[in-house]
Amino acid sequence: MQAENQIIVPLDVPTIEAAIALVERLPQVTFWKVGLELFTSTGSVILRELKSRQKRIFLDLKFHDIPNTVAGACRAAASLGVDLLTIHASNGRTCLELATTAIQEGAASTGVQPPKLIAITLLTSISPRQLAFDLKIPLELPEYALEMALMAKESGLNGAVCSPQEAAQLRETCGNDFLLVCPGVRPTWADKGDQQRTFTPSQAIQAGANYLVIGRPITAAADPELAWSKICAEIQNLEL
């Protein structure tokens, strides 16, 4: 896979105007992430705008609710023709299994390809201490992420979102056909922000990540085009 196709850039902006301006500022970006803020603001309008520009879409809404509600949301989202869709693995096995069926139904209803359904193992903003003391989960963080990913795979999901620090273990255990999407990726020259568990782009790819979600190091850079090019070059050098 070419480096530019492995980087997903988040459209973490509040309006359709700001989103389109960012897409036009970075025409070389082929894969964009639409999250809660922008989708709540614009609905499917932003998805249509991206598709009209032949962009791939990661719809990152992290569905988390009772099984029937999550299945209904997945069915509706799949009909929109997005490429990746996220739900929390902590919804449980029944919910995950219903969701895998629902995306097939939703995509078939509009004649589009079903999205790859990706499980959230654990938000990368959560530290081991928070997992233990705030969430009261007795497992070590890597073990918890692995258990969530395995349940997702057994339930028919296509992959998982995980910290790059867990990617190597998940790749070894879940196999090469299981997609790993890694946020929390920060070049050495970028600020970590609110991410607690980070790797550089090259470290994340070497650990087994298929896709890297990289936002502020690109979108908040003084020169976003230069930042994009530097990250692509770092990844490309691994393949030479």
Catalytic, out of 51, 55, 62, 230: 62
153 belongs to the catalytic site: no
Listed in sequence order, the residues at least 6 apart from 158 whose beta carbon sits closer than 8 Å to its beta carbon are 116, 117, 118, 178, 179
H/E/C letters for each residue in 48-116? HHHHHCCCEEEEEEEECCCHHHHHHHHHHHHCCCCCEEEEEHHHCHHHHHHHHHHHHHHHHHHCCCCCE
Contact 181, 141 (CB under 8 A): no
**What is the distance between the alpha carbons of residues 24 and 6, in angstroms, rounded to a whole number?**
19
Tokens of 173: 């255990």
Whole-number Cα distances in Å, 209 to 25, 108, 149: 26, 29, 14
Contact 212, 185 (CB under 8 A): yes
**What is the distance between the alpha carbons of residues 67 and 98, in angstroms, rounded to a whole number?**
7
Tokens of 128: 């081991």
Active site residues: 62
